[in-house]
Structure 1
Amino acid sequence: MDIKQLRYFCTIVEEKQITRAAKKLHMAQPPLSQQLKQLESELEVTLFERNGRLMEVTECGLVLYTKAKKILADLDETVVEVKSTDEGLKGVVAVGASKSCFSYLPARIKAFRETYPLVTFQLREGDTFHISELLKTRAIDLAVTRLPLESSDHEFSMIPLPKESYVFVIPQSWWQLVSKKTSVQMKEIQDFPLLLLHRINGKGQFEMIVNECKRHGFKPNVILECPDASMILSLVESEVGATIVPKSTLSAIPQLNTVALSIEDSEIVSESAVIWLKDRYLSKSAQHFLELFQQDVIK
């Protein structure tokens, strides 16, 4: 018994005649009759009783018809779903993001959902090293993360995002210590205890900031290192110290009791990118989501 035989059988039930069923199926009557005989022989039951020119379904035939209709409906639905998934109209997009890069996602997810409302998202968070590992194990499709990458760049394809400056973030109650200015110079930062982001594996922002401080003639007073931007900013709110983070981090993790100051004479910038495994299959849904970064339609 196969799908073709079930379709033939259901058509005979609905048309009540072999001749009409054959016409609807665009086939000759003898092959259709043969298929019905094969089905009855395999099941070892009688599926129809003849009543003149009509074919009346038996009790066994009615059971088969009910089950067959459900099987065929499920199959048709599956075909539609598979095709929709292949076209990117349905499916799941798994996205990883460094916490400090999360601000790149909300507007794009919203814009994407307006065009592809049946596509859902799974979000995973981690530092650059963890994000790279999630990509390698195919736990996620793509990611938004800070550069540089821990893994060799040749493993990933990427779309660079706009470079951004770093800001100096202090508790609001410390603002008077810099005369409530909206910007500071690097030399003023040396007087503050610093809480800096530091990757668990490899080098990144921490080394860049420390080197920038040294370039301006001082060793920063780093009292705490942490890989989690939200924890750093929470500690700043609690007046444990100050920090230096990419400006977009504050959009991803809003703070109420801090002040962000631009740094007038700093040359360091933060670089981020959307990355995915090079030369690996990427679903159509994920490809459509990437297009929002390629087109740069969200500013």
Structure 2
Amino acid sequence: MYQTLDIERQGAVATLWMNRPDVFNAFDEQLIADLHAACTALDADDSVRIVVLAGRGKHFSAGADLNWMKRASGYTEAENRADALRFAGMLRALSGMRKPTIARVQGAALGGGTGLTAACDMAIASEDASFATSEVKFGIIPAVISPYVLRAIGPRHALRYFQSAERIGARRALEMGLVGEVVPLQDLDAAVQKLADTLLTCGPGAQFAAKQLVGAVNARPIDDATTEETARRIAAQRATEEAKDGITAFLDKRPPQWMAQA
């Protein structure tokens, strides 16, 4: 179905493999279009509970394809805006999925590769992984990926790395919050599988509601409006059939329905 992607299914876990290893899974128009379409399709598939984003070969993604960058350098401002909106739409489709997303990162994750990592809900990296918001080295800025990277590392780190384009090693990325776990390369798949298995024990509707909760509450003051908002959200979730089954299952010492269906 896709020119630049492979999708592997293992039960309720779908792994979305970027498959351009000859160019280190660098972005071009086709990969962006394929990623957007695949994220949309997987999000609509209720048999998929977890989405893992990965890259074939030695590297997760080396960022923008040089040929794509060369073409873009000749675009008008309007053409560049349309091109950037396609990239932004893909990242938003990935970030906004109703199900948990995990970035499986090895090797280089530069520019847009850092953006992809940050757009996923969580990320596990191998010890050889490295990141960079390298755009300023080319006289451009990491504009489209900035909302996701800022969400992950905060404005103080962003002020440095957006301007310096320094390489960020896996351990430093862990300290900054860009990734949640760093493991030896040979243990990367096992670590991703362990996290996916943990996620599958939780209610899918509750997971999406929890993702929305983070977006709604983050950076808000703890005031009457926030108190009312959080109370409204838990009340709505408690009234769902999923919540009723989850609580009953715990009291009855049985697995909830979503685990039986996984």
- Scaled to the shorter chain, the TM-score interval is under 0.3
Question: Going by fraction, where is strand more abundant, 1 or 2?
Answer: 1
Q: Which has the higher contact order (CA 8 A, sep 6+)?
A: 1
Tell me the TM-score normalised to structure 2 length: 0.23
Tell me the TM-score normalised to structure 1 length: 0.21
